[in-house]
Amino acid sequence: MSTRNPGIMIDPARQKKRFDLSRYIHLKKDTAPERIVNGIYFENPVFMLALGMCPTLATTTSVTNAVGMGLSTTAILMLSNLFISLLRRIIPERMRMPSYIVIIASFVTIVDFLMQGFTPAMYESLGVYIPLIVVNCIIMGRAEAYAGKHGPLGSLADGFGMGIGFTGALILVASVRELLGNGTLAGFRVMPASYEPINIFVLAPGAFLVLAVFVAIMNRLHIGAARRDDWDPTGKFVCGDCRSCPRVAGCGGKPAADAAVNLHGGRG
């Protein structure tokens, strides 16, 4: 029986088996480390927020393409977040969205020209998806949700965290698809010569299937965190009972103050 809440029974064996990353990570809100960890795990743009689905499904046929797309997006995220944060007090409220688009489009153009000049093979492989970063909802979403309201250092870290989270997600999906669909990783033969590639994994249905598996794993980890038996949900958390809370996957058991921030577009 829990000493904190007599109504909650604790099974010690089950407690030890349950993985909950939030038990071990306690970072001050809006610091650079917290922003990076948030983008990689707690609000991973692909697996948790379901953003950037078009490049995720289209460019993950190989690990090489995934790395190129992820690093390009990371660079643009960091630069656009930094400049939007620096200009946030100058940009008029009614011109906010057009200004964000101009800043993002400028950095996308720079990255596009750099890739065309220095990595022409990857530029040809990724094709139209580099210019389309302008309309990637991850970029605009971070500008609106974070960079336009916070300082340069936090915004830069937020862009880095979200970019690394996006890159990692692309690499995970691409690794499975390339390995099963071609028997290779980053172009190098991994599976034996007798391996018969499963062609569906290099097609669109395979992308959806692999993505669904990773999303299910991440949801399980986050929902598992919200079912901790040692919580006292009365008074400490914004919801009365975490087990019946509809926002359980995004909350992860945050204290009431953090959860309230999450409801207004902040970190979950």
H or E element, residue 7? none
Amino acid in position 46: V
**Taking a C-beta distance cutoff of 8 angstroms, is the pair 206, 177 a contact?**
yes
Q: Among 28-37, 114-123, 219-228, whose mean pLDDT is lowest?
A: 219-228
Q: Rounded distance, CA 110 to CA 206, Å?
A: 33
Q: What is the mean pLDDT of residues 233-245?
A: 47
Answer with the residue of higher pLDDT: 45 or 9: 45
Secondary structure class of 189 (helix, strand, coil): strand
Q: What is the mean pLDDT of residues 36-48?
A: 92
Amino acid in position 245: C
Give the model's pLDDT for residue 193: 87
**Taking a C-beta distance cutoff of 8 angstroms, is the pair 173, 215 a contact?**
no
Q: Rounded distance, CA 80 to CA 155, Å?
A: 9
Kindly tell me if the per-residue pLDDT of 34 is higher than 80: yes
Among 212, 200, 202, CA closest to 58: 202
Kindly tell me if the per-residue pLDDT of 74 is higher than 80: yes
Q: Rounded distance, CA 58 to CA 71, Å?
A: 16
Kindly tell me if the per-residue pLDDT of 15 is higher than 90: no
Q: Rounded distance, CA 112 to CA 127, Å?
A: 10
Q: What is the mean pLDDT of residues 214-233?
A: 68
Give the model's pLDDT for residue 112: 95
Average of per-residue pLDDT values in the chain: 81
